[in-house]
Amino acid sequence: MTGNYMWDQASTKEFLIGTNPDSHLPMWWEGSEPLWVTVQKLKKHVFMYYWPGCEVPILGVKPTFCEEYVGSPSEKNFTDAIENALTALRDNADMAAVYYEKVDVEGHHYGPLSPQVQAAVRFVDSALQMLNRKIKEKNMQDNLNVIIFSDHGMTEIQWMEKVIELKSYINMSDIIKMMDRGPVVSLWPNPAKSEASIEKLPYWQNGTGGTQGWQHGWHGYDNEFVDMRGFFLAWGPDFKRSLRAAPIQTVDVYNVMCKVLGIEGLPNNGSWSRVEFILSGTSSWTRPSLLSSSALVLLALALSL
């Protein structure tokens, strides 16, 4: 996936995450194989809650259960999903995943340091306490690994100082289509004007003025910027206890999930050597006939420390 808003020039179809039927077409999703598809192919059971794309047949495969993505699930949706995921994992699921983006939404609207974000983070914290309590009540602590992460951080922005007026740099009549907004936009120039438009890109500068925007937080900048760092937390029988690790890379999370599920991952850009130390036991890759432990994956967007 290259973004939440995309355009396919050949078909003229648009991808607008969570808002239009065309975003459910497999054509957008089949550039790679998601972990839940790999697990399903191994005849295992995967339950997904509000996870973008779980409702789409990707490479002809859908998860065992999918609670379709909605723009921003309520707090009750989130806690219900956690409880339902635990029940599924206790019964017959090998993997469950829950997606929750309230922290991200509040961060965009009010800024990452706002009282609204603090309240959203406090709720996530209370939900995780509930999760830990339920795991113990169901006596699942010896065979359930929990992985919690975000795919980005967030930084505070000042629109009056940072807005780039594209029309000041390129002739907008030369652009066939423009998608997305924020730090990155996608432009499709008229083929006859493509080279001329591209030549101007390196000279774009911040600080060109503009009108006040309604959002106060954003992500998508250089991932070396500390505010862009996400959050990673894990516990369970396959993880070392009380270990505070140095930052890992987002691409490494896939290998961690594959390891705790007992499956061999597909070729990827992650490095096992960067994350091997956070796991207990041996580091050899095996594919057991039955998964030795199940995994609950929670993606809570835009938690940045």
As beta bridge partners, residue 7 has: 14
Instruction: Note whether 148 and 288 are same-domain residues.
Output: yes
195 shares its domain with 284? no
Give domain status of residue 127, yes or no: yes
Tokens standing for residue 302 = 């835009």
Q: What is the pTM of this model?
A: 0.83
Instruction: Name which of 3-17, 144-158, 187-201 the model is least confident about.
Output: 187-201
Query: In this structure, is residue 117 part of a structural domain?
Result: yes
Q: Given this model, what pLDDT does residue 163 score?
A: 72
Pairwise CA distance, residues 16 & 294, whole Å: 33
Do 194 and 247 reside in the same domain of the chain? Answer: no
pLDDT above 70: residue 205:
no
Residues 44 and 126 placed together within one structural domain of the fold = yes
Average pLDDT over residues 137-148: 93
- The bridge status of strand 175-179 relative to strand 232-235 is unpaired
Domain housing 204:
159-214
Residue indicated by tokens 């010896």: 142
Query: 139 and 197 in one domain?
Result: no
In a domain, 19, yes or no: no
Whether 59 has a pLDDT exceeding 50, the answer reads yes
Compute the half-sphere exposure of residue 137: CA atoms within 13 Å on the CB side of its CA. Answer: 9
Is the residue at 11 inside a domain? no
- Residue that terminates a domain, selected from 197, 214, 231: 214
Residue 22 lies in a domain: no
Q: Are residues 56 and 192 in the same domain?
A: no
The answer on 190 and 102 residing in a single domain is no
Q: What is the CATH number for 38?
A: 3.40.720.10
Are 275 and 141 contained in the same domain? yes
The more confident residue out of 213 and 157 is 157
* Whether residues 199 and 79 fall in one domain: no
* Same domain membership, residue 89 and residue 67: yes
Evaluate if residue 298 carries a pLDDT over 70.
Answer: no
**pLDDT by residue (tens digit) across 149-166?**
988 888 877 765 667 778
Contact of 300 with 124, CB cutoff 8 Å: yes
Structural domain contains residue 126: yes
Q: Token digits for 128?
A: 């995780």
171 and 261 both lie in a single domain: no
Alpha helix locations (H) across the chain? Answer: 35-41, 75-91, 102-110, 115-137, 159-162, 194-199, 253-261, 272-275
- Judge whether 12 lies within some domain: no
